[in-house]
Amino acid sequence: MGDRHMQIGEVAERTGLSVRTIRFYEESGLVTPTARSSGGFRLYTDGDVERLMVIRRMKPLDFSIEEIRDVLQILDVLRGRERGTTTPPDPELVERLAMYRELADQRVATLHTQWSSAAAFATSLRLEVEQVHAPQGRPR
């Protein structure tokens, strides 16, 4: 991670999140700007952007703010462990992270099923429109 600081507008552009959404995540305690400028502007690092991307990826899977907070805390501990120690990770944390991975897999499968159904419906509508526009005399 670099020491380069970005203002919230650049972070919004990089993450695809709105400034308002980033501020909501800050108010919810999910992300904290690494620093503030002398003028009081929020300043973020690449690590903050990575954290926001975790949140962004979890939201379509319908994770609650509390679940997102828990995953972020687990990742903070496990990633901090990677940098500072050779002791094995806490098995409880690893198990909780695995539980969230299973939940994410289930939700992805549900979304895939919903997407397939929606795509099939769109295809059926496309066929209906083509039949309506077909020249007279052609079999439907």
Q: So what's the pLDDT on residue 1?
A: 47
65-107: per-residue pLDDT in tens? 999 999 999 999 988 855 656 678 899 999 999 999 999 999 9
Burial-class residue 8 by CB neighbours within 10 Å (0-12, 13-18, 19+).
Answer: middle
10-32: per-residue pLDDT in tens? 999 999 999 999 999 999 999 99
From the list 26, 22, 27, the residue with the least C-alpha distance to 9 is 22
Q: What gap in Å lies between CA 133 and CA 125, rounded to an integer?
A: 12
User: Which amino acid, residue 84?
Assistant: G
CATH 3.40.50.300 fits 6-132, yes or no: no
Domain ranges (residues) in the chain:
6-132
